Structure 1
């Protein structure tokens, strides 16, 4: 009996497909959370947002990006979020950028938001994604990334007005500090990449002259 033919190695999934599936999964998770929140008597999940300058409100930094006031709030974030998140995944910078933006945006809201308020929503992270994609090419000195930033700006640049205190119902603090987080992430990653590319110094022979 002839030996069975060796199985062909499975081809890796294309990056664009993995990125798209990841963002669809994130969107599905946020929608599921909103469904659960709407099934609670008084939208109880929304009480887990960021409570400024309250020690008990610090955990809201973790939970707030998952929570939204209503369906309009959620889908308003999902629109740009799906596109910007996809671009970050394609750039292989999603986790680091998101982590930096998440912390800076959340802590900024906790320090500066109005007393007795509760801040929820993923818009702070989305602003950080946006500013990272806008300016990373400058820090990286990459013409290609600058061109991508220009296209992103033409599509979503008007969103940046959200860093200004134009509406009491909108957390401009989250937007502002999220945008700052995106700049910090671009600066940090560009510096890290340059250090990795720099040639290692040759060890000295130890022989004096």
Structure 2
């Protein structure tokens, strides 16, 4: 995908998150109740909804920059790859939160997507044996690598489960797509 189209896709997704937050703010934050509620049947509906919901402007701002940059880098491969990585990150992150987050908690935010995009970019180049993607992965690690500490339990109100399982989702996406490439071309360099 061209850089312009990749940039527009990434920008459009982040703009959608801002529109959702504007609507949520006009509703007094009522949309946030559609997040992930661990180990409850209704909480499963939060898995696809949670990445679009944020706990305020600071929360959304913190996710917007990395989503723009990392989303752009993945989108340069293809729209399909961007969608796949986002889906893997959202589903694996959401299921991890649903299974392991504290009872009676509510988890919202796109951090799982950020961690999924991050680990996908860090791992995919090595699995696909593509030198340029390896360089991108190394650069991403150097710039964003310290963020990976967010997978450890720590600050109250921060879903380390969402971060950890978002990262796992990104690695799974890299592995799945690298396997498809090798199956098509077992001699790929």
* Same-fold status (TM-score > 0.5): yes
CA–CA separation in structure 1 for the residues paired with 2:44 and 2:115: 21
| In the alignment, structure 1 residue 114 sits paired with structure 2 residue 102 | yes
Structure 1, unpaired ranges of 5+: 1-13, 200-209
Residues 132-191 of structure 1: CA deviation (Å, up to 9, x unaligned): 000111111222211111111111111101000011210000000000111111111111
CA–CA separation in structure 2 for the residues paired with 1:127 and 1:142: 21
Match of 2:138 in 1: 150
Which one of the candidate residues 29, 33, 53 is aligned to 2:20?
Answer: 33
CA–CA separation in structure 1 for the residues paired with 2:88 and 2:31: 24
Deviates more, 1:185-194 or 1:134-143: 134-143
Match of 2:32 in 1: 46
Residues 18-73 of structure 1: CA deviation (Å, up to 9, x unaligned): 111112211221111111111113x1000000000001110000100000000000
Structure 2, unpaired ranges of 5+: none
CA–CA separation in structure 2 for the residues paired with 1:98 and 1:25: 14
Structure 1 outlier segments of 4+, above 2 Å? none
CA–CA separation in structure 1 for the residues paired with 2:12 and 2:132: 29
Task: Show the 5 A alignment for 1:119-198.
Answer: 119-198=107-186
Superposed displacement of residue 15, structure 1: 1.1
Q: Higher relative contact order at CA 8 Å, sep ≥6: structure 1 or structure 2?
A: 2
Superposed displacement of residue 89, structure 1: 0.4
Deviates more, 1:83-92 or 1:20-29: 20-29
The structure whose Rg is larger is 1
TM-score (norm 1): 0.86
CA–CA separation in structure 2 for the residues paired with 1:85 and 1:112: 27
CA–CA separation in structure 1 for the residues paired with 2:4 and 2:133: 21
RMSD: 1.2
Match of 2:60 in 1: 74
CA–CA separation in structure 1 for the residues paired with 2:91 and 2:22: 26
Match of 1:101 in 2: 89
